[in-house]
């Protein structure tokens, strides 16, 4: 009887040891998978945000050029002393301010690490508002 208990004890302890090794291997594999996923997604996110930074820089460049045109035209309009034209100019300038706010929103989303889809939505909104500001500038009668 002692011999059978000893055999049972040996087989049980061997089983527990094998299960322990299997559990350790499974844990290491799970941690490695999660680590790989995190690194992979951060690299992909970095590439996406790099493109988004480029798009933001392009929009900022367009905004700066348009703002310069607005300033030159504004000086001419105020020199004419035409109230109707001044109102048109102010309304067009409001559109320019909206575009500037959209660009700030994009920059904020990028700096806060928002998801690429959110940044893309904000970039699209900035493009649209910049286009509207450009159209408003073109519609001024002084040009």
Residue 129's pLDDT is 94
How many angstroms separate the CA atoms of 104 and 116, rounded? 16
Residue pLDDT, tens place only, 77-102: 888 888 888 899 999 999 999 999 99
20, pLDDT greater than 80: yes
Q: Is the pTM of this model over 0.85?
A: no
Residue 93's pLDDT is 93
Which DSSP symbol is given to 142?
Answer: T
How many angstroms separate the CA atoms of 107 and 105, rounded? 5
Mean pLDDT of the chain: 86
Q: How far is CA 38 from the centre of its chain?
A: 18
Cβ neighbour number for residue 86 with a 10 Å cutoff: 14
Closest residue by Cα to residue 120 from 106, 104, 100: 106
Residue 22's pLDDT is 94
Those residues whose C-beta lies under 8 Å from the C-beta of residue 89, and which sit 6 or more positions away, are 73, 74, 77, 140
1, pLDDT greater than 60: no
Residue pLDDT, tens place only, 100-143: 999 999 999 888 888 888 999 999 999 999 999 999 999 886 55
How many angstroms separate the CA atoms of 13 and 10, rounded? 5
Looking at residues 54-78, what average pLDDT do you find?
A: 91
Q: Contact at 8 Å (CB) between 130 and 59? A: yes
Closest residue by Cα to residue 79 from 139, 142, 137, 140: 142
């Amino acid at each position: 009887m002692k011999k059978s208990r000893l055999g049972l004890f040996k087989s049980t302890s061997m089983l527990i040891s094998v299960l322990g090794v299997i559990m350790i291997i499974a844990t290491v594999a799970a941690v490695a998978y999660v680590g790989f996923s995190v690194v992979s997604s951060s690299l992909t996110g970095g590439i996406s945000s790099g493109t988004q930074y480029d798009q933001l820089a392009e929009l900022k460049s367009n905004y700066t050029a348009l703002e310069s045109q607005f300033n030159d035209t504004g000086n001419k309009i105020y020199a004419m002393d035409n109230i109707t034209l001044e109102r048109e100019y102010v309304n067009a300038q409001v559109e320019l301010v909206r575009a500037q706010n959209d660009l700030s929103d994009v920059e904020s989303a990028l700096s806060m690490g928002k998801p690429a889809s959110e940044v893309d939505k904000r970039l699209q909104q900035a493009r649209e508002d910049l286009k509207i500001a450009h159209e408003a500038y073109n519609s001024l009668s002084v040009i």
